[in-house]
Structure 1
């Protein structure tokens, strides 16, 4: 019988393995959430206006949504097995709370999505436009419900409440309302869902801009770019306000995480805003510090002289992962600032009636396609590494949560996952990119394979057979 794991290397490998798998996984549910809502809006606009361009855009992204949704389900299953294999201590102790929350997701969201996905993909000519829109809307609602349960589970790990400790250190639920609607949940839900919408908007906008660089008169590409840039211009600044509220909640409930995010080693009134630097745990200070005096307190406490706790307020054994948390936060905020800038630039071009003509802007937007997903990964990394060394903040340590595995066993499983993920999901991502590279058409075929009516080309509208044959 193996002894409980004590090697710091084995623990870090297990954490790295989970971080690797969740970095792959999180992109696909986020894209599914954003695309499902985008598809619902497109179909609603088609029903209201009967404008064919909305239906063409809908059918174009519907096929991509089906692949993204499938990959998200598969990658999520891998994570479920990994929790049981590498984190049995966590499963044993937190299972009575986390298990029901994830089961509720399956019973509500997953069955709703799976039940209406087939109608959404293949049912437009079979059930009629209005019932088909209802199916699309229900799938969209299902993705949001799914996100709600997952984020409720994660936010409970950040700010646990509504439980008591039973025999053998097991968390026993006593108030499900407090468990589900814990203090972190509303901020985490808003922040994540908005991030999913922004990531999807920039992916859609990048595809539209890419095709406009080839054929500037394609109305479907124009629609993609226009809708995406409205989302960027309006929602990206709102995300900043949501992030500010989320940061203030972290300041109240997880002050050590905030100290690591901001690079604050010392508690003081009038805390500076550290723009860049390198956190040095051994020296207990921020090296190469580029800072703005008092601005940190103003942002966090809304007072120039507000007191913000530094890492010196906590035992060093309870400090989060410093470098990853500090720089992950800056990557997230920096990329968000880029999204805001792109959105505002699009408003200027729209005002000057050059949104569809500005090729330099189209190149910028096309290059920003993955920016939202990188931002999500960076933000999720901050959330998780900033919670360390706890799996359930302040109650259950990560070292108590890991399975009794040796370094070799973790390395073996980690190696297999790296190879499989690179092959399987690398192929899936390549296939999605190939679908995005195909130019949208009028009379866009449904997933069932209906033949397109017309396509857009450099000479305007032309017969589809030439396009189909050349593509083959």
Structure 2
């Protein structure tokens, strides 16, 4: 229990708790915002009430996630001034301005138009409302853009140098366009979008499986499937590019990801570790399952490495990641989920091509619907695992190669940090179950077909679970 008296460890645990919990909510809002833009655009183009009701229904889940994301994001940023004051003082000229951009440009843009998107359906012109929805989605993704710039700079600091313990910016745009920036932004953008697609698809599959408005939710299911056809393979490719960057810029992180203790020389084939049990004390893997010659194919798309893969023993213990097992398995969990999503997408597309997703047959695909329900939470695990690899693998540095984590933490009494950590854990646990409760209520209640449609003289007619919408009924039934 020595960690209870270590301020740095406790501050890291507190930031990890708040960051992991906060990340659950903007992941969905950034991706679902794009989905709302699509369905509302389809409604404006076709005037099909199905798309209108989709926009109204999914926006409820959007605002729930937005509210919890705001409530949990603010305390996380305050920690830069409380638990990580030396870090803020050292890099505040650049890092602080980037966080300021995120708040003033992105968050304010999203929050400013959110009210119009939620309450302006019958109060503003449909085109103006659609513009508000676009601005909300743009603001949510712009927030991700600035946050990833800040974090990617911590991974590959550029645009200045450390002078007497403070980072002095010489080229602001070079700092923004640091080597990790482009792939980091794209990787996170597709991660949030892919997670949102499989959440929407999983919820839609739940409705279809339970025979609740199956034709209605078949539309949302097919929309996310059509987008996933492009997103799932692109995310795998961008993840590969990110791995290549780690290979060249953060060799100690790569060694932890692959649990490599000894250096693999260039010019020779290298095996890839599929499963292993890393042992930090003995500096070796207690057991390991490998795939021959696969590491070169993963890193360079060829079996023979052109550059060496440095082992962890190349660095002193205090200069390399310590939680090798966590980084190793977090990476494999992230990659495994990415390939599972791609495989599920391909199989579902095949069923679509065979006509199995028609309104008459989609409810009969029970195992496929169950697979999508199972996939709904997996995107969150992949995102959280990716951030664990990204940040824990960066240790012992807060700013890679520039500022050590031990030097970035505030000198606070351990008891005070433990108290705040405990309070965060209690409050966030309550928030988590409260959010699940209200989210489940929204899903159980389902879409409200009594809502009037803007521009229509008569309100829509409510439907019972499993019954098609009015525009989908045969002409005889409508008469």
What is the TM-score normalised by the length of structure 1? 0.92
* Equivalent residues of 2:216, 2:469 under 8 A apart: no
Kindly indicate whether residue 171 of structure 2 is the aligned counterpart of residue 164 of structure 1.
no
SS at match of 1:455: coil
Partner of residue 337 from structure 1, selected from 314, 336, 339: 339
Contact 1:297 1:308 survives alignment (8 Å): no
Structure 1 stretches of 5 or more lacking a match? 1-5, 463-472
Give 1:283-362 correspondences, 5 Å limit.
Answer: 283-306=282-305, 307-320=308-321, 321-355=323-357, 356=362, 357-362=364-369
Secondary structure of 1:124 counterpart: coil
SS at match of 1:456: coil
Q: Which runs of 5+ in 2 are unaligned?
A: 471-479
1:350 and 1:384, CA in 2 relative to 1: closer, same or farther beyond 3 A? same
Provide the secondary structure at the position in 1 that maps to 2:168.
strand
Q: Indicate the larger mover: 98-107 or 216-225.
A: 216-225
Alignment of 1:44-63 (within 5 A): 44-63=41-60
Question: Match of 2:106?
Answer: 109
> What SS does structure 1 have at the residue aligned with 2:277?
strand
Which piece of structure 1 moves more, 84-93 or 188-197? 84-93
Match for residue 465 of structure 2 among 453, 457, 462: 457
- Distance, in Å, in 1 between the alignment partners of 2:401 and 2:113 is 41
Among 428, 439, 444, the alignment partner of 1:432 is 439
- The CA deviation string for residues 307-343 of structure 1, in whole angstroms up to 9 with x for no partner, is 3222122222111131111110011111112111211
The separation in 2 between residues aligned to 1:299 and 1:400, in whole angstroms, is 35
- Distance change >3 Å, CA 54–CA 175, structure 1 → 2: same
Q: 1:359 to 1:105 in 2, by over 3 A?
A: same
1:97 maps onto 2:99 in alignment = no
Match of 1:369 in 2: 376
Determine the structure 2 residue equivalent to 1:80.
77
> For the Cα contact (< 8 Å) 2:187–2:235, is it kept in 1?
yes
The answer to whether the 8 Å contact 1:194/1:239 transfers is: yes
Q: TM-score, normalised by structure 2?
A: 0.90
Offset from partner CA, 1:216-246 (integer Å, 9 cap, x none): 6533211121122223333111111000101
- Within 5 Å, which residues of 2 pair with 1:5-404? 9-167=6-164, 169-215=165-211, 218-268=214-264, 269-306=268-305, 307-320=308-321, 321-355=323-357, 356=362, 357-404=364-411
SS of the aligned residue for 1:349 comes to: helix
Moved more, 132-141 or 436-445: 436-445
Q: Is the 8 A contact 1:221 1:440 kept in 2?
A: no
2:207–2:213 Cα contact (<8 Å) kept:
no
Deviation track 1:345-388 (CA, whole Å, cap 9, x = no partner) reads 10111012113130111111112211111110111111010000
Regions of 4+ moved over 6 Å: none
For these two proteins, the number of residue pairs brought into alignment is: 453
Which deviates more, 15-24 or 314-323? 314-323
Is the Cα–Cα contact under 8 Å of residues 45 and 54 in structure 1 kept in the other structure? yes
Partner-residue secondary structure (3-state), 2:122: helix
Q: Does 106-115 or 183-192 show the bigger shift?
A: 106-115
Local SS of the residue matching 2:282: coil
